[in-house]
């Protein structure tokens, strides 16, 4: 199999990054408007002459409140995104508990990375290490200042030089293809939406049990309950939609292309296939409980594949089957 299409992949990832940047504020604003509309609908109730409860949505009032909250929403989310975007390196590092690896600690790894970078004429990224006997690796970063390749100590102990070169070549290809920029952008987006969803649901739950929900138990308690329920459903649906969108946008093809790029860089496809076999037997970083960060890994941790949620996650997985990747590499 000949490795082709790198520039096409780069253009595709750049376009997807722009698309996500455009969709994100739209989804946030739609969520805010929907929240205000639900509150207005259930709060704007009256009884007719026969005692029948009547509810109606006052679009003009909803739009007026929406315009008042718009600057605050845009400002807060904008600042939040900017901080997360430029602090992505430390964010990922904290999630996986990694630290910088110095040359004097392991000259072997530095020599492999330097040789591969010279082969493909790219700037050398930072090298990080995770103290974990299990096996995994990933690339991260949005630009030359934040690009990094992270390896577990298990990888350094169990993989020989050729296998390690194949894995590092795979991760360097992710950086060259701008895969990492797209992945980091999606991680930030999903994180913000999940947090906003959680805050809205927690706030409404608190109001229901400690505020007006108790004072208006007879008349308005049921209305408050439905507001909480519908807001939760809407927010969960939006979060699920956005997560699915980013998973579909991040095509499984990127892993096949990174495998091909890694095989080309190290000059030994069978070495990368051998490394994937070893990693798939003990894929590490199980302590990382964030699915958005786990999508960076060369092999998805086993602990995240169990149960119903793991099955549903697999339907939208950003990683193809490892055995299939190995079979393709063995056909080079």
What is the SS3 string spanning 24-43? HHHHHHHHHHHHHHHHHHHH
d(CA 288, CA 94): 10
Q: Is residue 1 part of a domain?
A: no
Domain boundary among 223, 249, 275: 249
Q: What is the pLDDT of residue 223?
A: 58
Q: Is residue 136 part of a domain?
A: yes
CATH of the domain at 289: 3.30.2010.10
Rg for the chain (alpha carbons), in Å? 24
Q: Is residue 95 part of a domain?
A: no
Which residues span the domain enclosing 282?
A: 100-180+252-329
Supply the residues annotated as catalytic.
Answer: 171
85 and 124 in a common domain: no
Q: What is the pLDDT of residue 247?
A: 60
Q: What is the pLDDT of residue 244?
A: 64
Q: What is the pLDDT of residue 39?
A: 75
Q: What is the pLDDT of residue 218?
A: 45
Torsion angle of alpha carbons 118, 122, 124, 127, nearest 10°?
-100
Domain boundary among 200, 215, 249: 249
Q: What is the pLDDT of residue 101?
A: 94
217 and 127 in a common domain: no
261 and 174 in a common domain: yes
Q: Is residue 125 part of a domain?
A: yes
Q: Is residue 165 part of a domain?
A: yes
Residue 125 carries which DSSP code?
A: P
d(CA 288, CA 96): 6
Q: What is the pLDDT of residue 161?
A: 95
Q: What is the pLDDT of residue 85?
A: 75
Q: Is residue 226 part of a domain?
A: yes
128 and 138 in a common domain: yes
Q: Which regions in the chain score pLDDT beneath 50?
A: 1-4, 212-219, 303-314
Q: Is residue 29 part of a domain?
A: yes
163 and 15 in a common domain: no
240 and 263 in a common domain: no
**Count of structural domains, the chain:** 2
Q: What is the pLDDT of residue 162?
A: 95
265 and 204 in a common domain: no
Q: What is the pLDDT of residue 110?
A: 95
27 and 166 in a common domain: no
Q: What is the pLDDT of residue 4?
A: 45
Q: What is the pLDDT of residue 226?
A: 62
148 and 14 in a common domain: no
Q: What is the pLDDT of residue 137?
A: 93
Q: How many CA atoms lie within 13 Å of 159's alpha carbon, on the beta-carbon side? A: 34
129 and 86 in a common domain: no
Q: Is residue 105 part of a domain?
A: yes
20 and 46 in a common domain: yes
């Amino acid at each position: 199999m000949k490795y082709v299409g790198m520039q096409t992949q780069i253009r595709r990832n750049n376009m997807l990054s722009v698309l996500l940047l455009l969709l994100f504020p739209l989804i946030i604003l739609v969520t805010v408007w929907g929240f205000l509309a639900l509150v207005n609908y259930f709060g704007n109730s009256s009884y007719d002459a026969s005692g029948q409860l009547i509810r109606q949505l006052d679009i003009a009032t909803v739009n007026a409140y929406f315009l008042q909250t718009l600057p605050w929403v845009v400002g807060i989310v904008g600042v939040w995104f900017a901080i997360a975007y430029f602090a992505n390196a430390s964010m990922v590092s904290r999630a996986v508990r990694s630290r910088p690896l110095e040359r004097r600690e392991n000259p072997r790894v530095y020599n492999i990375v330097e040789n591969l970078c010279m082969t493909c004429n790219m700037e050398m990224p930072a090298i990080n290490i995770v103290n974990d006997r299990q096996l995994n690796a990933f690339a991260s970063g949005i630009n030359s200042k934040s690009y990094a390749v992270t390896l577990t100590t298990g990888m350094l102990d169990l993989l020989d030089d050729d296998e390690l070169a194949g894995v590092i070549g795979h991760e360097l290809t992710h950086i060259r293809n701008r895969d990492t920029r797209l992945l980091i952008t999606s991680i930030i987006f999903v994180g913000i939406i999940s947090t906003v969803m959680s805050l809205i649901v927690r706030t409404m739950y608190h109001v229901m049990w400690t505020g007006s929900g108790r004072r208006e138990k007879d008349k308005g308690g049921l209305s408050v309950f439905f507001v909480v329920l519908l807001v939760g459903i809407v927010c969960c649906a939006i979060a699920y939609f956005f997560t699915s969108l980013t998973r579909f946008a991040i095509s499984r093809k990127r892993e096949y292309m990174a495998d091909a790029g890694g095989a080309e860089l190290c000059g030994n496809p069978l070495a990368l296939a051998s490394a994937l076999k070893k990693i798939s037997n003990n894929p590490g970083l199980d302590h990382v409980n964030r699915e958005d960060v786990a999508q960076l890994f060369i092999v998805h941790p086993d602990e995240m594949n169990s149960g119903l949620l793991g099955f549903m996650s697999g339907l939208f997985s950003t990683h193809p089957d490892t055995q299939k990747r190995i079979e393709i590499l063995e056909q080079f």
